[in-house]
Amino acid sequence: MSKRALLRTLAVLGVLVVLWGAFALFQKSMSDAPVTLELPKLTIADVDSIELTRPSDTVRLVRSAGAWTVNGHAADQSAVADFVGALADSGATSELIARSASSHGRLGVDSAGRRIVFAKGDRVLLDVIAGSAARSYQSAYLRRDSEPEVYLYRGKLATFTNRALDQWRNRQIASIERDSVSRIVIGRGTRTVTVARADSGWTVGGARADSAAVGRLLTALGDLRAIGFPTAAQMDSIDFAKPRLRLTVLGRGADTLLSLVADSASSGYWVRRAGNPETYQVDFWRMNQITPTDSALRGLPH
């Protein structure tokens, strides 16, 4: 072989070595790239049902006539919107931590996990199984229902995966603007007291009321929320036929803004609003705010 041919052969071999090395590095970089769980970035308009199922219970969120319900009860609309919006959490991260189904039981993503299905009509948009909470509040083990790989997911979505039914329900009982109120009728047992707006200020039972006490009452009516809901067993013992407390709030046009009755409970009151089948649990402190005694409304010592 001539010297020129030898040099040409060596040059070709050198190019091949460089190409092989580049290809090997490319393969290594591809194999070392992190494997992540990609979730669809849905909006609330994309979804009309969400089901969270585990062996002990099922939570069904359904949109009907523009409003969401949860297992037939009024749902917290903002909580549902936040749940769907969490799919687009730009700060969320995930990493592959297991490839085999043998890890599913240990990580809680087997039949004991919570299956989460987002859908619109008959079309499934996302189907994942959430397992044990992992290391922090905003983390969970997730896997797609049809795949064995398990991911450690960190993001807002994880905070919703283990919510109980009551945490999805709408807890707001009333939201009344103070300037819309003209009269409040409070019943405690057989005693009734009326708080009325007058040109000179508020009165209670015809006498001048303590403005600070009435102000606290109106503030409480501005965002009246429940702390919980009765169980089926507790519902059997609730009696609204002879309520312990009664409250009626009238507007400036004598329209009824709120009418509710309350039955006592061990840790507060059971409350029902007229025209609403829901029964709420309200704590003692809040009920005392919205049904104060006449002496409290006059600013007199108890």
Do 242 and 211 sit in the same domain of this protein?
yes
- The answer to whether residue 35 is domain-embedded is no
Same domain? For 152 and 246 the reply is no
Q: What is the pLDDT of residue 27?
A: 52
Asked whether residue 116 is assigned to any structural domain, the reply reads: yes
Question: Do residue 223 and residue 162 come from a single domain?
Answer: no
Total number of domains in the chain: 2
pLDDT above 90: residue 2: no
What is the domain-level CATH number for residue 145?
Answer: 2.60.40
Does residue 19 belong to any structural domain of this protein? no
The pLDDT tens digits for 95-127 are 999 999 999 999 999 999 999 999 999 999 999
For residue 18, is it within any domain? no
Q: What is the pLDDT of residue 29?
A: 43
Residue 125 shares a structural domain with residue 226 = no
Mean pLDDT in residue range 62-79: 95
Residues 192, 272, single domain; the answer is: yes
Residue span of the structural domain in which 282 resides? 172-297
Is 302 contained in some domain? Answer: no
Same domain, 196 and 158: no
pLDDT at 1: 56
Q: Average pLDDT, stretch 59-83? A: 95
Choose one of 141, 168, 195: the last residue of a domain: 168
How far apart are alpha carbons 276 and 98 in whole angstroms?
49
Does residue 289 sit within a domain?
Answer: yes
Same domain, 188 and 288: yes
pTM exceeds 0.85, yes or no: no
